[in-house]
Amino acid sequence: MRRQRQAKIVATLGPASSSLDTIRALFEAGADVFRLNFSHGSHADHCERVALIRRVEQETGRPIAILLDLQGPKLRIGRFAAGPVALEAGAAFRLDLDPAPGDATRVSLPHPEIFAALEPGAELLLDDGKLRLRVQDCGLDHAHTRVVTGGALSERKGVNVPGVLLPISALTAKDRQDLDFGLGLDIDWVALSFVQRPEDMQELRALVRGRAAILAKLEKPAAIERLDAIVEQSDAVMVARGDLGVELPAEAVPRLQKSIVRACRRSGKPVIVATQMLESMVNAPVPTRAEASDVATAVYDGADAVMLSAESASGHYPVEAVAMMDRVIREVESDPYYRTVIDASHVAPVAGVADAICTSLRQAADLIPIAALVTYTRSGATSLRAARERPVAPVLGITPHLPMARRLALAWGVHAVHVGEGIHDVAGMVETARAVARAQGFAAPGAPIAIAAGMPFGTAGTTNLLHITEA
């Protein structure tokens, strides 16, 4: 099964999309990566979904990536004694460590790390930014605040502290348990929520130990301040616009989205644009025109993938949402202006043999009607370097490792194929490339293909060969 587009689709699974038939339909509609949101659902739920995804993978013969999304340190207030309260603008409101149920004058905030980082004048956002409090004075166990923006507040609502670097790990005890469980299921990607520092990604990598690729979710202003360092420590990045839009002005998010996409393209790291992309399709069979334009903008920017959250996890039209996203991507990529934009944003190559080869691949596709750019890869690096060039021709990534073929399902323009270990020389490489290009529907017999690989075979990170031949 060959996708007729280059950008990829990530679909979140949930109550609306947990059956074999629905997961199969989502894949057939265009989902390349399935996200398991560990903020919801039990381990048994996720285990069953992984088994169903792998069954679809076997049926279709196509590698499918599974993304484990860790919950991260979600900060919440405590409970209220008599249900929701109304906070009036200008009123005083206390937050403290006292676990007693709260009222309209105070509530528990069981996070001493927040109090340790607060200063007078700092602001706290409650319930996704619907309510805003300003700190008047504070100590290690309390904060007296003044309500800036009031409204109804119910228990266990989330708390955001914009502009404050919180002294907490992005990995909670729950995350560590979920990570151990997920790695035992052979998932392909691990997403870390609320990343603030590159050290957060280093901590995750040490725990994963190469068993999956790691992805940084950028949803904190502190992460933006150290963007390049976080990208460097990650295998991929997600622009998580939900919490990012809570802690930053809404008008700043589009600019930051573009900045993050550009940073990832410079580094050759896959980047996902996520959150509220087709939000109205949770309850409606078609999106708003603004939502379709939002998806299109991410594709024009050159994002590797766009993501559905509630639309596919709990909405009424999960398959329709994936199909709509697929159509929007294909419409954008068929626009002649799309190539103009992509070429104008082309990233200069790094001085080195591998980048020289992959730049030549792109140039070859510009000069002659190359049907496919075939990359032999063990580590995924050659395919990712080729994808970084955003070539006109599709990238056919051939790898002897099934886990790597699955990981590459996230990368722009890469159609990954798992082959055996039986390639030992150039002649075998060329013949395999020809056969795979024909079998996968990329090239008719006699059509030109370009091949990039490394010599000697079997050694990762040695891309040093470019060969143009006919399928």
Instruction: Decide if 258 is catalytic.
Output: no
3, 217, 269, 390: which one is catalytic? 217
Nearest Cα to 386, choosing from 402, 370, 400, 375? 375
| Whether residue 275 lies in the annotated active site | yes
Q: Considering the candidates 145, 275, 359, 432, report the single residue annotated as catalytic.
A: 275
Please indicate whether residue 359 is annotated as part of the active site. Answer: no
Q: Kindly name the residue from 54, 74, 76, 134 that is annotated as catalytic.
A: 76
Write down the catalytic residue from 3, 5, 35, 438: 35
Identify whether 217 is a catalytic site residue: yes
What are the residue numbers of the active site? Answer: 35, 76, 217, 275
